[in-house]
Amino acid sequence: MKTLQKCSKFLSDYTSVVVIAIAVVTFFLPSLMGWVNYQLFTDPVSNKFTSQSIIIGVIMFSMGLTLTTEDFRILAQRPLDICIGAAAQYLIMPFLAFGVSKALHLPDGIALGLILVGCCPGGVSSNIMSYLCGGDVAFSVGMTTASTILSPVMTPLLVSFLASGTKISIHGFPMLVSIMETVILPVGFGFAVNYFLGKKSWFQEAQKVMPGIAVLGLAFVVGGVISSQGANFFQSGIVIFAAVLLHNGLGYLLGYGAGKLTGMNTAKKRTISIEVGMQNAGLATNLATTTAQFASTPESAIICAVSCVWHSISGTLLAGFFASLDKGSFPLPLHKRASQGM
């Protein structure tokens, strides 16, 4: 178990490196990750349930394993903070994605992918980044929990609304079903398992392995998209990178601004910045590749996969920058800061 825990810590410390490495290898050896796109069955609303769907479910299950009744108590005790955070999450990133798409004149399929990323809940790794940069971890967990719980309603609703200007017909119900299957049910199951087994020592040891499994899962999701769409990547490569960088960077900036505007302290401003800027792009990738109505726009998944990689990198860099402000020095590598208990 100790060996597995060390492997998990290594993967967590080098998340962006692991994701990039698998993406690069898969680009040259597409068959390596072909299994990720293997279709297992089709659900009642014609969504494809693939190996990738199971991977996303495992990632969300690992998030559920970290939730306790105390986390839900935080939601009740800090309603104003959580409401501000959730409002920022579902107002800034979706409409920012729409604005960037229009400003860069993105093709409909690519624009739809960016809007999908913007309308997804906060990323699970944002909690780790908030901890490393001296943010308010309880606030971070509360925001992630709230945005995830709201996602079955907010994500389909916002995507349907913002994508209405494209030539692609989007209906919210298939997305709602997919989010319930791959997010809400696994998170709920993980929470239930933690509730009943959380005090057992062997379970607490097993929990320490889950972050590494989540990192591998994210890397496999990105690899699956590269496997199926890598050949089309360079057709819009520069535009995709520009869109992802603008969307993510402005998200961090506007998230911090929202915290400043509402009078939050430094720790909360850092937290809301990271929570708003870092999206659950893995979920967006899964929706883009498995939801029935995205079948006509496979290019949507490319920008989602690029977001997966970049959000991991930028989140690490931003956490390091915030941490350096406290120390008055340049950021240390992520694994060194973690070992120092920052």
DSSP code per residue over 65-98: TT--HHHHHHHHH-HHHHHHHHHHHHHHHHHHHH
In this predicted model, what pLDDT tens digit does every residue of 13-41 receive, in sequence order? Answer: 787 788 888 888 988 998 999 999 898 98
Residue of 174, 192, 306 whose CA lies nearest to 242:
306
Q: In CATH, what class is 2-6+17-22+49-339?
A: mainly alpha
User: Whole-prediction pTM value?
Assistant: 0.80
Percentage, residues of the chain above pLDDT 70: 89
Tell whether the model's pLDDT for residue 54 goes beyond 70.
Answer: yes
Q: How confident is the model at residue 43 (pLDDT cuts 50, 70, 90)?
A: confident
Residue 299 CA to residue 56 CA, distance in Å, equals 20
Q: What is the pLDDT of residue 235?
A: 66
Looking from the CA of 110 toward its CB, the CA atoms found within 13 Å total: 22
Tell whether the model's pLDDT for residue 326 goes beyond 90.
Answer: no
Each domain of the chain, given as residue ranges in start order, spans 2-6+17-22+49-339
Residue 245 makes CB contacts below 8 A (sequence gap 6+) with: 310
In this predicted model, what pLDDT tens digit does every residue of 215-253 receive, in sequence order? Answer: 888 889 888 878 877 766 666 678 898 999 999 999 999
In this predicted model, what pLDDT tens digit does every residue of 71-89 receive, in sequence order? Answer: 778 778 888 888 999 999 9
Mean pLDDT of the chain: 84
**What is the rounded average pLDDT of the residues 7-14?**
84
Using an 8 Å Cβ cutoff, are 63 and 52 in contact?
A: no
Mark residue 123 as left, alpha or beta (left: phi above 0; alpha: psi -120 to 50; beta: remaining).
beta
What six digits make up the tokens of 191? 């929470």
Tell whether the model's pLDDT for residue 152 goes beyond 50.
Answer: yes
Residues, the chain, total? 342
Query: What is the b/e burial string over 180-216, where b = at least 16 CB atoms within 10 angstroms of the residue's CB?
Result: ebbbbebbbebbeebeeebeeeeeeeebbbbbbbbbb
Tell whether the model's pLDDT for residue 337 goes beyond 70.
Answer: no
Q: Which range has the worst mean pLDDT, 77-86, 112-121, 292-301?
A: 292-301
